[in-house]
Amino acid sequence: SHELRTPLTVIKGYTETLLDEQNWQDPKMAERILTIIDKEAERLSRLLKDLLDLSQIESSKGVMKKQKVDLKNVVEEAVSLLRGHSEAKNLEVNLIIHGHELRNIWGDPDWLLQMFIDILENAIKYTPQGGRIEIKLQEKGKELLAAVKDTGIGIPARNIPYIFERFYRVDKGRSRRLGGTGLGLAIVKHILEAHGGHVTVESSVGVGTTFSVYLPLAPVAV
Ligand SMILES: Nc1ncnc2c1ncn2[C@@H]1O[C@H](COP(=O)(O)OP(=O)(O)OP(=O)(O)O)[C@@H](O)[C@H]1O
Ligand SMILES: [Mg+2]
Q: Which atom of ligand 1 is nearest to 179's Cα?
A: 27
Lowest mean pLDDT among 49-53, 114-118, 198-202: 49-53
Q: Under 8 Å CB-to-CB from 34, ≥6 apart: which residues?
A: 18
DSSP β-bridge partners for residue 214: 145, 198
CA separation for the pair 67, 222 (Å, rounded) = 9
- Residues touching ligand 1 (Cβ under 6 Å) are 50, 118, 122-123, 126, 150, 152-155, 163, 168-170, 175, 180-186, 209
Ligand 1 atom showing the smallest separation from residue 168 Cα? 14
Domains 2-59 and 65-216 share a fold: no
pLDDT tens column, 57-69: 888 765 688 999 9
Q: How far lies 110's CA from each of 2, 69, 78, 114, 148, in Å?
A: 30, 10, 11, 6, 19
Q: What is the pLDDT of residues 104-122, one digit of tens each?
A: 899 999 999 999 999 999 9
**Residues ≥6 apart with Cβ < 8 Å to 160:** 201, 203
pLDDT beyond 60 at 196: yes
Q: What pLDDT is recorded for position 171?
A: 82
pLDDT for residue 73: 95
**Which CATH number, 3.40.50.970, 1.10.287.130, 3.40.1280.10, 1.20.1270.360, labels domain 2-59?**
1.10.287.130
Question: Which 8-state DSSP code applies to residue 205?
Answer: T
Residue 221 Cα to ligand 1 midpoint, Å, equals 38
Q: Does 163 score more than 90 pLDDT?
A: yes
Of the listed ranges 32-46, 47-61, 172-186, the one predicted with least confidence: 172-186
pLDDT at 222: 46
CATH code, residues 65-216: 3.30.565.10
Domain range list for the chain: 2-59, 65-216
Closest CA to 115 of 43, 218, 197: 197
Calpha distance 142→149 (Å, rounded): 22
Instruction: State pLDDT tens for residues 120-157.
Output: 999 999 999 999 999 999 999 899 999 999 999 999 99
Helical spans, DSSP H, in 60-139: 71-81, 83-88, 109-125
Instruction: Measure CA 220 to chain center.
Output: 31
Looking from the CA of residue 187, the nearest atom of ligand 1 is 18
If one counts every other C-beta atom within 10 angstroms of the C-beta of residue 20, the result is 8
pLDDT of residue 115: 96
